[in-house]
Amino acid sequence: MTFPPSPSAVLAQVRIALDERSYPIAIGHGLLGDPTTWAGLPAASTALVVTNDTVAPLYLAPLRAALGHHYRRVLEVVLPDGEQHKDWATLNRIFDALLGAGCDRKTVLFALGGGVVGDMTGFAAACYMRGVPFVQVPTTLLAQVDSSVGGKTAINHPLGKNMVGAFYQPARVVCDLDTLRTLPPREFAAGLAEVIKYGPIADMAFLDWIEAQLPSLLARDAQALAHAVRRSCEIKALVVGQDERESGLRAILNFGHTFGHAIEAGLGYGAWLHGEAVGCGMVMGAELSHGLGLVDAAFVARLRRLVEAAGLPVRAPDLGAERWLALMRLDKKSEAGDIRFVVIESPGRAGVRPAPEPLVREVIARCCA
């Protein structure tokens, strides 16, 4: 496959409104290799592109060439691919590169890759000299619809996922839909989990649309993808704009994530993809909501069917109930030892609540069966 595969065209712009930290998300085709995409960013002599060894052969050269129109030096750091590398040792390779090249605090970082690259590059940008600008260039569906937007950055700690990080907003997000064509099917399905998520928490009409368009999405139809990315970013923008630092509302974006993070940590990072764990976690979250009397069994069955049809696991791994509970107590939403879950209050509306432990055990038992 040659690049760029299509003429440059911005199909949609979504704005994240956060006062002086506001920024645009550009969604379109052929954006990555087009110099005009990168105009108007903070002036600097040096750009550093952070990517991984899977993405680099596909998209690093065209991005570097395009950035060369705006920066005197375009440096690169190629990290090993995978969630298991989202740690301090790998993060430090970015600092080594920046300091080794004498990069000043105007240097602009570019995160070219999926959620792991975005989280690490964002956190490096937040910390390097106490903050340099950065740009998200997400190349996976999951990163385009979720992780690149909203300023959550982090690395993992052996005792928990995303435990060390910062809220730090990018200067811009550029979603080049062409990059989704090279995504392996398993990664693509993992991204669909986060797209599906926006339905039950915020927009049941979008859930209807996803169900109807699932075959087109799985066939990576350009128009269907454009709508899925755009609508996902719109919903995320609305939520993040109201609660940047997750003091309340923003937590609803973590529907399925308390169960999901336990799966990821319990099996070891990288065993299941994040989106796979979230897919299964959403089914568990729906079961929990049903157990709390909030939604009916048909709603749970509908969500399970859609998650499964998207190619995602709906059976949870059997970690043992005690380990499940211990892992979930480490969740960032926990308070004073109580696990708190994002639940569906009613279809299209989510909230955060603690749940009785017997019910949580029942959900685990049922979903691991």
Site residues for its own copies per CB under 8 A: 45, 88, 92, 95-96, 99-100, 102, 104-106, 126-131, 152-154, 157, 159-160, 162-167, 245-246, 329-330, 332, 334-337
Q: Which is nearer to its own copies, 157 or 181 (CB)?
A: 157
- Write down the catalytic residue from 231, 274, 304, 332: 274
Told to judge if 83 belongs to the known catalytic residues of this protein, a careful annotator would answer: no
Told to judge if 274 belongs to the known catalytic residues of this protein, a careful annotator would answer: yes
3-class secondary-structure state, position 86: coil
Q: Closest separation between CB of residue 271 and its own copies, Å?
A: 20
Q: Closest separation between CB of residue 122 and its own copies, Å?
A: 11
3-class secondary-structure state, position 51: strand
Told to judge if 323 belongs to the known catalytic residues of this protein, a careful annotator would answer: no
- Write down the catalytic residue from 152, 161, 172, 290: 152
3-class secondary-structure state, position 68: coil
Q: Closest separation between CB of residue 100 and its own copies, Å?
A: 7
DSSP state of 20: G
- Write down the catalytic residue from 85, 254, 287, 290: 254
Q: Which is nearer to its own copies, 21 or 349 (CB)?
A: 21
Tell the burial category of 205 from Cβ atoms under 10 Å away from its Cβ (0-12, 13-18, 19+): exposed
Query: Cα–Cα distance between 282 and 117 in angstroms, integer?
Result: 24
3-class secondary-structure state, position 81: coil
Verify cis geometry, omega within 30 degrees of 0, for the bond prior to 4.
Answer: yes
Q: Closest separation between CB of residue 213 and its own copies, Å?
A: 34
DSSP state of 354: E
Q: CA triplet 267, 142, 369: central angle to 5 degrees?
A: 35
Told to judge if 85 belongs to the known catalytic residues of this protein, a careful annotator would answer: no
Told to judge if 250 belongs to the known catalytic residues of this protein, a careful annotator would answer: yes
Q: Are 134 and 170 in contact (CB under 8 A)?
A: yes
- Write down the catalytic residue from 246, 264, 276, 287: 246
Q: Which is nearer to its own copies, 208 or 335 (CB)?
A: 335
Instruction: Give me the active site residues, please.
Output: 130, 152, 194, 236, 246, 250, 254, 257, 261, 274
